[in-house]
Structure 1
Amino acid sequence: MIRLLIADDHPIVRDGLSGMFAAEPEFEVVGQAGDGAEAIRLAEALRPDVILMDLQMPGMNGLDAISALAERGVRSRVLVLTTYDTDGYVVPAIEAGATGYLLKDAPRDELLRAVRSAAEGRPVLSPSVADTLMNHVRAPRAPELLLSPRELEVLQLVASGNTNREAARHLFISEATVKTHLLNVYAKLDVSDRAAAVAEAYNRGLLKPS
């Protein structure tokens, strides 16, 4: 039995997915969440095998929820199910820890197979998403694409003098998530602290003086 948690801000999508999986004897839908924060609470309480995670949700979005789940040591596999297949969404989701990435127009059988694979820890990508990743790897990267949009937001707030707590409040995310974004920034810029990250970001043109 594969235990599922469905996170999507549209009730009709959640109900449709729940009905589809309920019709299959090998799946059990143990919970539904309408945003990232609720998905984290339910994942910690229910420990599902797989979380179907939308990315664009009010409050805490799916990307921040994936990062927070990894920080908290929740071992559930996250399978992104969204309508967005650009590298601005795909790459950060995979980097944050998603096991797979599917689009909402995926056929029913493909979605069932993907959840089975995710439950076993095997990566799953829809064809268009795989193409996006390949193009991302092959293409020269502009400086502003080195960091994800959220990482840039966090770094800009830090550069403006905000503490982690203040940045978290501005972005409606947890302080722990801010710390994770900063650690990712340090790794990508090959620095070890906030001041060096800000200086390197200005050197590379990632941040512009106000």
Structure 2
Amino acid sequence: MLDLNVVPAESRPAADRPAARPDRAALQRSLEELLAGSDAQCASLSRFDADAANCFVEVTAGTTLIARGGLLPIECSTNFTVAAGGDVFASADLREAVRYDRGWDVVTVAGGMRSTCTIPLTLGSRPLGAVSFSSRESGVAFAPTIDSVMSVSDQLVLALLGHERDAHASRRVLICVDDLLAAEGLARIAERELGAEIVACASVEEIAGRVRAETDLILLDSYVQGRRVDEQADVLRRHGVKARVMVVSSFDVESNRAASLRAGALGYVARDAPVPDIGDAILRVGSGERLPAVPIDASEHQGEQVTAREGQILVLLERGLQVKQIARHLGISDATVKGYQRNLFAKLDVHSTTAAIYAARRSGLLHSLQGTVRAPSPDGILAPLVA
């Protein structure tokens, strides 16, 4: 082992040490098993500190060039630089590698290593660390080793998060969506990703009464019982709820994305997204991470400020009801309905009911609002609607 005067973690000031406390025993076992199944002679598993641009060596196996606890700048190594960008680095002959000349690259070659590969460990799209293998033999085929690491990457990531994850991850998930089948599916995904207790709630008010901690995760649809997600968030705030909120939207439209941003949700994902993507989003938000905002077309403004009552009236207009019928159904006066109708026209920048319906259909707003009014009963009469 080369003595490079790398400062061990134990001797560095506490403020300079990484905050997380990974499960090193699990990482050590996994790394030794991976090394035993490869053609390499040494391996290491490191964690990235993106803020400090450093790489911290958590565990090693075999005859390594750096001891556990070593800290290196990511940019001093081609292996780490590539992995920190989310890609795999592999070279079967370092002596012939192009531009393998960073500081730690030179040390690796001088230490007798001729083949190497580094595989990133990611949480969603964020690289948390990497597993590196090196051999004194050239011509090593690392493809099987890379496949082996990828097959256990989820377990490695969980062990890498370790006690930090145990302390801050969501252990209770409260779900409130109108579609019971969707709620069951989300419950299974959350249970698998977070190992959490699942609580199904019938309303946002019930959620407010059952939240226990700020680390609880709340999964909401973009509309629940006629309330848009930003209106649901207002209810939670009025009850003093500070738990994490994530939106799993039944209708992925601009107005729902914008409402999720206004609600302060940590994440947004479409309900028809692939299950692995939904699971990844739940894991990341449940671990306290804020997901990148879904792009919103700045020119798309239709319906973003439509209230729940205005949304109900818009749906009833689309279903062909007249002002008097809407007033009777909602239990309000004709004049009040006309007032809401005028507000709708102004917000949608139209001058007629036909134009309002067309604009709302085109923007996807009507799809989002379908849950705001109950379907007609078998006798064709609309069921009473509570505002």
Change (3 A) 1:23 1:116: closer
The alignment status of 1:12 with 2:12, answered yes or no, reads no
Q: After TM superposition, which residue ranges in structure 1, 4 or more long, deviate above 6 angstroms?
A: none
Alignment partner for residue 307 of structure 2, among 150, 173, 178? Answer: 150
Q: Encode CA deviations 1:15-42: one digit per residue, 9 max, x unaligned.
A: 2222233334x32133111333323332
The alignment status of 1:63 with 2:230, answered yes or no, reads yes
1:101 match: secondary structure: strand
Trace 1:1-210 onto structure 2 (pairs within 5 A): 1-3=169-171, 4-24=173-193, 26-43=194-211, 45=212, 49-58=216-225, 60-124=227-291, 130-131=294-295, 133=296, 135-136=297-298, 139=299, 148-150=305-307, 153=310
Q: Contact 1:55–1:81 at 8 Å: present in 2 too?
A: yes
TM-score (norm 1): 0.57
Give the structure with the higher percent helix.
Answer: 1
Q: Contact 1:6–1:33 at 8 Å: present in 2 too?
A: yes
Q: Contact 2:213–2:243 at 8 Å: present in 1 too?
A: no
2:224 match: secondary structure: coil
Change (3 A) 1:149 1:18: same
Change (3 A) 1:119 1:111: same
Give, in whole Å, the separation in 2 of the partners of 1:34 and 1:61.
15
Which structure would you say has the larger RCO, counting Cα contacts within 8 Å and 6 or more residues apart?
Answer: 1
How far 1:8 moved relative to its partner? 1.0
Amino acid at match of 1:16: G
Q: Which runs of 5+ in 1 are unaligned?
A: 154-169, 171-201
Report the aligned-residue RMSD.
Answer: 3.8
Give, in whole Å, the separation in 1 of the partners of 2:184 and 2:272.
16
2:223 match: secondary structure: coil
1:73 match: secondary structure: coil
Give the percent of matched residue pairs that are identical in Structure 1 and Structure 2. 21
